[in-house]
Structure 1
Amino acid sequence: MKYYVTTQGDMWDSIAQDQMGSTDHTGLLMRANMRHTLLGAYIFPAGVRLVIPDIPQRASGGLPPWKQKK
């Protein structure tokens, strides 16, 4: 887990993209920072410290080794 300090105008989706690699992680970012979510923050002022959560690893969608073609 790491932290990010906002700059004026940052938004949830742009922070997720820049810090976590995809806007797909916006919900994860918001859940990790519920205090700011509950305050209704969508556009941040400068200086807000947010938690950047670790991105869960997905299991590979491939077949188990015994079912793979060789």
Structure 2
Amino acid sequence: MIVTISKYGDRWDLLAYDLLGDAALAPALMAANPALVSLCENHIPEGARIVVPEIAAPAERMTQTKAPWKQD
């Protein structure tokens, strides 16, 4: 099991892209961390322990680009 610590400003879609390679996998990441899911906000508290689920087979990437603010 892989666990990471959230940083200020992390969101489920950004973490899914960074950790799982596809922002469309945010629901899988959220399902692995039900205690952190909030209906009121998309942001994850800073310093939270995030469990990264194992994805059985890497799916074809649904999102081809990062968000503009995440470009390197």
Same fold (TM over 0.5): yes
Between structure 1 and structure 2, the one with the greater Rg is 1
2:9 is paired with a residue whose SS is coil
Q: Deviations over 1:29-56 (max 9, x none)?
A: 000001111x445212320001000012
Q: Which runs of 4+ in 1 moved over 3 A?
A: none
AA partner of residue 27 (structure 1): P
1:27 is paired with a residue whose SS is helix
Per residue, is there more helix in 1 or in 2?
Answer: 1
Q: After TM superposition, list the pairs within 5 Å mapping 1:1-70 onto structure 2.
A: 1-37=1-37, 39-40=38-39, 41-57=41-57
Q: Which runs of 5+ in 1 are unaligned?
A: 59-70
Contact residue 36 and residue 44 of structure 2 kept, 8 A: no
Q: Which runs of 5+ in 2 are unaligned?
A: 59-72
